[in-house]
């Protein structure tokens, strides 16, 4: 479930001249000129919590962290890139304005991602992906990442951690998600996944992690990939690219589907317009579908905008009470979002 966005606060954060700039001025600043650091930011407490969780599991390995443009753990590296906007509340607000949400913007959400990415880092540090039993249970990391995947929501062969049944997307993600569930304090994974095939993966993870205190990491470098200081594009260019990535091509929502929900009959000429109704419920419906599906709010909003414009073109109006229309439309929109 996607948490409600809470802009990170950082009372001890260093002052930045751009912190009071309006969005339009801030967007023309280069990423490298933000001059941000993790130290002293809202992220310090999150990383300290992660270290405490690793310590509680007797794991001596600690990933290193740096700021970049998004969340990722590069192949073969033992560190985690954290998106720059989490290092300052002004940038978190800009992220929410541009993308309608702040990925990792609450303590629980941030910790879920940190645990997942640490699973990748520890996989790389000890070359765990080369172990035969690991490959037998999770599959090979050498399998190419798919352009998209169709999850099976009711499958019990995978743990549930990040949204969109992410463990099903690739063997590497299955491993990282399983590690994250295993690491999470009070997850009670033995009870929660009782009688699930996924329990075998968690039991293997428990056994595997028990061997690490006596193992030597194969990779020990503190290398960083695409650190913020090396990113010379502006925030405006960054968000243009990001919005294109999470946007959609024009959905092919059949007019028939809209006409089943709304009407253009003359006798409904005094009814509220469909476009106005959908515009009013847009923020709430967008959040609800994001919570249910795990889809980015920006992606959902693009589909919504296209539907609203089409309702205007067809001059559609409400054909039934608004409460019923809202419920029926949410179902239709959810199907469209999952398709795109």
pLDDT surpassing 80 at residue 294: no
Determine the average pLDDT of the residues in 239-246.
Answer: 90
Each residue of 100-111: pLDDT tens digit?
899 999 999 999
pLDDT greater than 80 at residue 9: no
pLDDT attached to residue 207: 96
Token duo for residue 30: 């280069």
Mean pLDDT of 264-275: 92
pLDDT score of 36 more than 90: yes
Q: Taking a C-beta distance cutoff of 8 angstroms, is the pair 339, 288 a contact?
A: no
**What spatial distance separates the first Cα and last Cα of the chain, rounded to whole Å?**
19
pLDDT attached to residue 71: 97
Residue 79's closest CA among 65, 62, 61? Answer: 65
What are the C-alpha distances in Å from 87 to residues 68, 69, 90, 117, 144? Answer: 10, 11, 9, 18, 32
Which whole number is the average pLDDT over 30-49?
96
293: pLDDT strictly greater than 80: no
Residue 70, Cβ density class (10 Å: 0-12 exposed, 13-18 middle, ≥19 buried): middle
Rg (CA), the chain: 23
Higher-pLDDT residue of 64 and 289 is 64
* Total Cβ atoms within 10 A of residue 97: 12
Measuring CA to CA, how many Å separate 143 from each of 138, 223, 273, 296? 11, 25, 49, 26
Q: Is the Cβ–Cβ distance between 337 and 254 less than 8 Å?
A: no
Residue 220 has pLDDT above 50, yes or no: yes
Ramachandran region, residue 338 (left: φ > 0; alpha: ψ -120 to 50; beta: rest): alpha
CA distance 323 to 325: 5
CA distance 106 to 96: 13
* Closest alpha carbon to 64 in 121, 136, 22, 112: 121
Strand pairing report for 64-68 and 317-318: unpaired
Q: Is 241 helix (H, G, I), strand (E, B) or coil?
A: helix
DSSP character string of 178-233: HHHHHHSTT--HHHHTTT-THHHHHHHHHHHHTTGGGPPPS------SS-GGG--S
Q: Which residues pair with 83 in a beta bridge?
A: 68
Per-residue pLDDT tens for 122-141? Answer: 999 999 999 999 999 999 99
pLDDT of residue 2: 39
Residue with tokens 């795990």: 294
State the pairing for strand pair 262-263/317-318.
Answer: antiparallel
């Amino acid at each position: 479930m996607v948490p409600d966005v809470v802009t990170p606060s950082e009372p001890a954060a260093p002052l930045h001249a751009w912190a009071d700039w309006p969005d339009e001025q801030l967007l023309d600043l280069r990423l490298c000129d933000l001059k941000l650091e993790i130290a002293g930011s809202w992220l310090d407490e999150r990383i300290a919590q992660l270290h405490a969780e690793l310590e509680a599991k007797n794991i001596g390995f600690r990933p290193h962290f740096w700021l970049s443009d998004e969340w990722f753990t590069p192949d073969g590296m033992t560190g985690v890139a954290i998106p720059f906007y989490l290092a300052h509340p002004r940038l978190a607000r800009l992220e929410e304005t541009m993308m309608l949400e702040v990925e990792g913007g609450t303590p629980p959400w941030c910790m879920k991602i940190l645990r997942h990415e640490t699973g990748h880092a520890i996989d790389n540090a000890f070359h765990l992906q080369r172990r035969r039993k690991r490959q037998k249970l999770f599959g090979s990391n050498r399998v190419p990442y798919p352009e998209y995947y169709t999850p099976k929501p009711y499958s019990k062969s995978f743990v549930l951690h990040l949204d969109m049944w992410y463990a099903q997307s690739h063997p590497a993600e299955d491993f990282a998600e399983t590690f994250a569930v295993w690491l999470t304090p009070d997850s009670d994974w033995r009870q929660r996944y009782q009688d699930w095939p996924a329990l075998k993966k968690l039991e293997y993870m428990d056994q595997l992690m028990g061997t690490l205190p006596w193992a030597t990491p194969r990779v020990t470098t503190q290398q960083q990939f695409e650190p913020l200081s090396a990113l010379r594009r502006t925030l405006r260019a960054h968000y243009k690219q990001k919005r294109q990535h999470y946007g959609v091509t024009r959905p092919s929502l059949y007019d028939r589907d809209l006409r089943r929900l709304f009407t253009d009959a003359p006798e409904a000429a005094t009814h509220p317009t469909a476009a106005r109704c959908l515009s009013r419920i847009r923020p709430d419906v967008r959040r609800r579908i994001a919570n249910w599906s795990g889809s980015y709010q920006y992606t959902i909003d693009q589909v919504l905008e296209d539907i609203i414009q089409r309702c205007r073109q067809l001059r559609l109006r409400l054909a039934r009470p608004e409460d019923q229309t809202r419920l029926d439309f949410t179902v239709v929109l959810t199907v469209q979002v999952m398709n795109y």
